[in-house]
Amino acid sequence: MDTRRSSEPSSSSSPSSPSSFSRKQIKPLKQGMPPSLGGSMPMYTLFGITALSLLGIVLVHNQQNVEKQQLHSGVVRDIERLRLREERERITKQQSRS
């Protein structure tokens, strides 16, 4: 009688029984994400990059609005200076005529 165990499952046990295979069961991977990205770190990294990008956009937008207001105030000052100069010229012409 041979006491060695056979590496093949015996024909009497079904292949799905746990005692028939000595292999470890392989756990399925999470769907849609590779195993190296299974943690929450990529999500936090994406959130951080997105937040910093939005912050940069808001800061640049605000800076452009400030510059636009400064440029517009310069135009308003120039128009006022021209108006005053024309008024002074008109006054001096009237005084020279009289």
Per-residue three-class SS string for 36-75: HHCCCHHHHHHHHHHHHHHHHHHHHHHHHHHHHHHHHHHH
What pLDDT does 97 receive?
A: 86
What pLDDT does 77 receive?
A: 97
Q: What single DSSP character describes residue 7?
A: S
Residue of 33, 37, 56 lying closest to 45 (CA atoms): 37
Q: Quick: pLDDT tens for 41-98.
A: 888 999 999 999 999 999 999 999 999 999 999 999 999 999 999 999 999 999 988 7
- Whether the CA torsion 84, 88, 93, 97 is positive or negative: it is positive
pTM given for the model: 0.48
3-state secondary structure of 28: coil
